[in-house]
């Protein structure tokens, strides 16, 4: 009898073991555990030791060699423990950096300069702070945001006066990965006119970026120059926010993250040149590495550029040594190198998107191409391009939803049309910009065709209102693990019989659907979402079909938009303004620009001057009922809501303690003993830091569920 009939798979193995992938996975798990549990995460190495000890015992009983098993187990334990230690040291060092308070005279060397809507973003290294009594040097960099016109370049030693603020390692439930990775622990803001250039020092990478920016903006139209500069260096700050949103809504903003697309094109150009001149391997490899490393340095060694750099170097090494190239091992090695360089990269959205996109293409690109290849009217190249785009979209879908709150429904179509064209444009732009930097007097001529090609390529991008075709209104959180398990079973990297594969896929799909429903809907009669991000504090109340948004102060449109996208909010029945009149006016403008608002309510004590034409603003002194929820104002900056037997006080900025009756839940900006003593809440939570208290600053967005007088609380974002 054929023994294969008793198996759930064909051949000898279900999965071909890739040790590099396993080690990289262990490194990622270590970084994840280190943030959750700190030094206690080292205990996680215990299960690895136990698992490999049991496996070795089983193999010995079967009289098989255990040498490789022991080596792999040892490597996994060392990598897991090493990443945990490295992460904890990085966190402890960042958190213990010198805390500053007050205004200082700041001096530092400009390392990186970006143009913003209001001025410049300047990263300073070798920073020294001066006050009337003392001066000291900072171990970390400082970023200063200037407003107004200025003339800055990398290498300048700048001096100015400003209030310096210490940046926390994590905020709102997320690691401040970009700051930590770049070694920036302080920030400040000042007028550009108040910044003095003391002297000029040479900075290689900064000088190259300045050269590129000067050449592009002096030889091209401003919008085209900004897009070209962002494509070449990964710095999208030079692009207008409205224009950048078009790329994001279209799902093609990845062209501004120097990644596999960019590094791969540069590598292909170098490979073509070296093959034409028949350069030997020992010449080709170091020259290729030098150019790619230099380019990654110009791009600030971003996670995506480093990942692509490692992959290209592994490919070049494999070709030179005549070794078979394995794409999955290459991506795994790239991820492992980056995590060893700094485990905080794990919390960089760019790093995870880059790795997931590459991994998705490797896992699913082949099966999708073979499937589409069976359809007669689809050419092979079209099938391959469609499969690559679709695989990358599937692999990055949960990350995009959880990180940005939306995904473009038409990004697949736009990527299929736009990316091949922009790849050619980028290759020409890279070569012509390099030549223009060497021959600046011919820059206008050299960049004429790339600029024209770029303008033509952007026509379909700006021709459609991509905002209308966004997928949003839900989040994955931990259920993303089920999504990726589904994709892995769907790939050709696991060896299962067709019937068993289908059964597993159906089971995972059902489990994912149930988990997503429970995560995003739940069974509470009233839900209250509490969201905060650097002063934008939102309390969103839903009961049945009724919705109300409570605003407690200033509202930044960008932060509010992300919340609306994530929650799928396209209209609000009522806005409750628990803030001063001037702040209420600005907050209403911001919110009305993002969603449809039926009416707004404010305390009569706020003395609000109604200047709105599209929204009716009602001044209230007495309690009022909306959608089955009872509202009443407490002073001018507090609002009490009663629903399902629960009484909640939302205290805005500068809330004055007053009697509001028994309060079950207090939601406030920061902990104030006077307010707490006055309202005596059974439970409380805060938008900003509150030592020993539940806060959105520490956990990320929270959802309060109320049913039959019972309050439940769960996290809906953060630690991702």
Query: pLDDT tens digits, residue range 70-109?
Result: 888 899 999 999 999 999 999 999 999 988 877 899 999 9
Interval 594-605: pLDDT, tens: 889 999 999 988
Partners of 702 in the β-ladder: 530, 715
**223 vs 134, residue with greater confidence:** 223
Residue (of 254, 380, 250) closest to 305 by Cα position: 254
Share of the chain above pLDDT 70, in %: 95
The region, left, alpha or beta by phi > 0 then psi within -120 to 50, assigned to residue 405 is left
Candidates 43, 33, 70, 41; CA nearest to 55 is 70
Select from 240, 218, 242, 214 the least CA-distant residue to 227: 240
Q: How far is CA 624 from CA 143, 200, 293, 576, 620, in A?
A: 47, 64, 64, 11, 8
pLDDT band, residue 512 (cuts 50/70/90): very high
**C-alpha to C-alpha distance for 203 and 217, rounded to whole angstroms:** 21
Arithmetic mean of pLDDT, 681-703: 90
Is-contact 616 600, C-beta < 8 A?
Answer: yes
Tens of pLDDT, residue by residue over 351-385, are 888 889 888 988 898 888 888 888 887 888 888 88
Separation between Cα atoms, residue 705 and residue 543, nearest integer Å: 10
Strand partners, 109: 125, 157
Query: At 384, which helix (H) or strand (E)?
Result: helix 380-404
Q: What is the pLDDT of residues 316-357, one digit of tens each?
A: 776 676 666 677 887 888 888 889 888 999 998 888 888 898
Report pLDDT for 319. 67
> pLDDT value at position 11?
57
Give the model's pLDDT for residue 188.
Answer: 93
- pLDDT category of residue 1 using cuts at 50, 70 and 90: very low
Query: Which positions ≥6 away from 41 have C-beta within 8 Å?
Result: 30, 33, 34, 84, 88
Delimit the domains of the chain by residue range: 17-95, 103-202, 210-347+410-463, 526-715
Query: Whole-angstrom Cα distance, residue 182 to residue 144?
Result: 14
pLDDT at 531 over 90: yes
Task: Tell me the pLDDT band of 2, cut-offs 50, 70 and 90.
Answer: very low
Tokens of 471: 């997928």
pLDDT score, position 611: 63
Three-state secondary structure call for residue 15: strand
Say yes or no to pLDDT of 45 above 70: yes
pLDDT of residue 525: 86
Radius of gyration of the chain from Cα atoms? 28
Task: Round to whole Å and give the CA distance between 252 and 396.
Answer: 13
**Running DSSP on this structure, what letter comes out for residue 644?**
T
Average pLDDT over all residues of the chain:
86
* Cα 227 to Cα 239: distance, rounded to the nearest angstrom: 6
List CB contacts of 495: < 8 A, sequence separation 6 or more: 9, 10, 11, 13, 14, 15
In the numeric block, which tokens belong to residue 346?
């794990």
Does the 103-202 domain belong in CATH 2.40.50?
yes
Look at residue 417 in the predicted model and tell me its pLDDT.
79
Please, which residues have CB within 8 angstroms of residue 450's CB and are 6 or more apart in sequence? 228, 425, 428, 429, 432, 433
Alpha helices in 67-165 (DSSP H): 67-95
Half-sphere exposure of 484 (CA within 13 A, CB side): 14
Cβ distance 346 to 91 under 8 Å? no
Residue 7, pLDDT score? 53
Helix (H) or strand (E) holding 198: strand 196-200
Q: How far is CA 258 from the centre of its chain?
A: 15
Q: Which tens digit of pLDDT belongs to each residue from 417-475?
A: 787 888 888 889 998 999 999 898 899 999 999 999 999 988 888 887 777 788 888 88
Q: Are 530 and 696 in contact (CB under 8 A)?
A: yes
SS3 477: helix
Give the residue-averaged pLDDT of 310-315: 74
Contact 706, 528 (CB under 8 A): yes
Scan for tokens 């569920």, then name that residue. Answer: 705
* pLDDT tens-digit readout, 274-305: 888 887 777 888 888 888 888 888 887 776 77
| DSSP category for residue 494 | B
* Whether the predicted pLDDT of 14 surpasses 70: no
Assigned token pair, 467? 């905002």
pLDDT at residue 117 is higher than 80: no
Coil/strand/helix, residue 616 = strand
Taking CA atoms, 264 is separated from 209, 272, 313, 334, 394, in Å, by 20, 12, 11, 14, 22
SS3 at position 219? helix
pLDDT of residue 613: 64
Do the beta carbons of residue 209 and residue 302 sit within 8 Å?
A: no
* Cα gap 644→642, rounded to integer Å: 7
Query: What letter does residue 3 receive in the DSSP assignment?
Result: G
The count of C-alpha atoms lying within 13 angstroms of the C-alpha of 502, restricted to the half-sphere facing its C-beta, is 3
Degrees to nearest 5, angle at CA 432 with 430 and 436: 115
User: Greatest CA separation found in the chain?
Assistant: 91
596, 574 Cβ separation under 8 angstroms: no
- Tell me which CATH code domain 526-715 carries: 3.60.15.10
**Tally of CB atoms within 10 A around 278:** 7
* pLDDT at residue 3 tops 50: no
């Amino acid at each position: 009898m054929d023994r294969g009939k008793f198996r759930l798979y064909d051949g000898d193995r279900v999965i071909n073991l890739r040790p590099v992938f396993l080690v990289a996975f262990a490194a990622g798990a270590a970084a994840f555990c280190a943030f959750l549990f700190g030094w206690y995460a080292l205990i996680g190495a215990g299960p690895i030791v136990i698992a490999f000890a049991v496996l070795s015992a089983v193999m010995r009983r079967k009289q098989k060699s255990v040498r490789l098993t022991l080596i792999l187990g040892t490597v996994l334990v060392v990598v897991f423990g090493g990443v945990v230690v490295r992460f904890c040291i990085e966190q402890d060092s960042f958190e213990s950096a010198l805390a500053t308070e007050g205004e200082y005279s700041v001096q530092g060397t400009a390392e990186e300069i970006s143009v913003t809507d209001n001025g410049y973003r300047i990263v300073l290294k070798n920073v020294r702070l001066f006050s009337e009594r003392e001066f000291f040097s900072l171990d970390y960099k400082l970023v200063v945001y200037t407003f107004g016109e200025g003339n800055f370049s990398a290498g300048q030693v700048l001096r100015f006066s400003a209030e310096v603020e210490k940046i926390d390692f994590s905020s709102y439930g997320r690691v401040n990965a970009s700051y930590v990775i770049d070694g920036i622990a302080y920030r400040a803001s000042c007028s550009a006119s108040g910044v003095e250039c003391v002297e000029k020092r040479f900075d290689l990478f900064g000088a190259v970026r300045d050269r590129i920016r000067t050449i592009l903006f002096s030889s091209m139209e401003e919008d085209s120059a900004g897009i070209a500069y962002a494509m070449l260096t990964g710095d999208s700050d030079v692009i207008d926010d409205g224009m950048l949103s078009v790329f994001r809504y279209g799902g093609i903003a990845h062209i501004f993250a120097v990644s596999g697309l960019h590094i791969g094109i540069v590598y292909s150009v170098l490979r073509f040149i070296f093959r034409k001149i028949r350069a030997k391997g020992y010449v080709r490899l170091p020259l290729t590495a030098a150019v790619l490393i230099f380019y990654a340095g110009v791009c600030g060694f971003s996670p995506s550029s480093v990942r692509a750099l490692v992959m290209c170097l592994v490919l070049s090494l494999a070709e030179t040594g005549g070794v078979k190239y394995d794409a999955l091992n290459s991506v795994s090695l790239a991820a492992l190198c980056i995590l060893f360089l700094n485990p905080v990269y794990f919390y960089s959205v760019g790093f995870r998107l880059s790795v997931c996109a590459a991994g998705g293409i490797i896992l699913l690109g082949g099966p999708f191409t073979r499937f589409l290849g069976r359809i007669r009217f689809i050419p092979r190249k079209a099938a391959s391009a469609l499969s690559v785009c679709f695989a990358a979209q599937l692999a990055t879908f949960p990350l995009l939803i959880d990180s940005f709150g939306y995904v473009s429904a038409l990004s697949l179509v736009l990527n299929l049309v736009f990316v091949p064209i922009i790849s050619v444009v980028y290759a020409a732009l890279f070569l012509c910009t390099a030549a223009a930097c060497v021959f600046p007097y011919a820059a206008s001529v050299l960049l004429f065709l790339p600029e024209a090609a770029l303008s033509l390529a952007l026509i379909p991008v700006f021709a459609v209102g991509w905002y209308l075709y966004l997928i949003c209104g839900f989040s994955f959180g931990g259920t993303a693990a089920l999504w990726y398990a589904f994709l892995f079973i769907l790939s050709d990297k696991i060896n299962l019989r067709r019937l068993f594969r289908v059964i597993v896929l159906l089971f995972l799909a059902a489990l994912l659907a149930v988990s997503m429903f429970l995560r995003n809907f739940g069974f509470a009669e009233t839900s209250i979402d509490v969201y905060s991000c650097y002063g934008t504090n939102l309390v969103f109340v839903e009961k049945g079909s009724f919705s109300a948004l409570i605003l407690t102060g200033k509202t930044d449109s960008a932060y509010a938009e992300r919340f609306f996208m994530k929650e799928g909010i396209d209209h609000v029945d009522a806005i409750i303004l628990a803030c001063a009149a001037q702040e209420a006016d600005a907050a209403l403008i911001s919110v009305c620009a993002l969603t449809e608002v039926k009416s707004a309510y404010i305390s009569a004590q706020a003395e609000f001057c109604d200047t709105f034409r599209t929204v009716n603003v009602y001044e209230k002194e007495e309690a009022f009922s909306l959608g089955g929820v009872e509202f009443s104002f407490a002073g001018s900056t507090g609002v009490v809501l009663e629903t399902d037997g629960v009484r909640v006080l939302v205290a805005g900025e500068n809330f004055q303690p007053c009697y509001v009756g028994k309060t079950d839940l207090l939601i406030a900006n920061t902990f104030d003993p006077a307010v707490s003593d006055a309202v005596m809440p059974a439970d409380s939570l805060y938008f900003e830091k509150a030592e020993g208290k539940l806060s959105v600053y520490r956990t990320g967005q929270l959802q309060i569920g109320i049913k039959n007088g019972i309050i439940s609380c769960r996290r809906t974002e953060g630690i991702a």
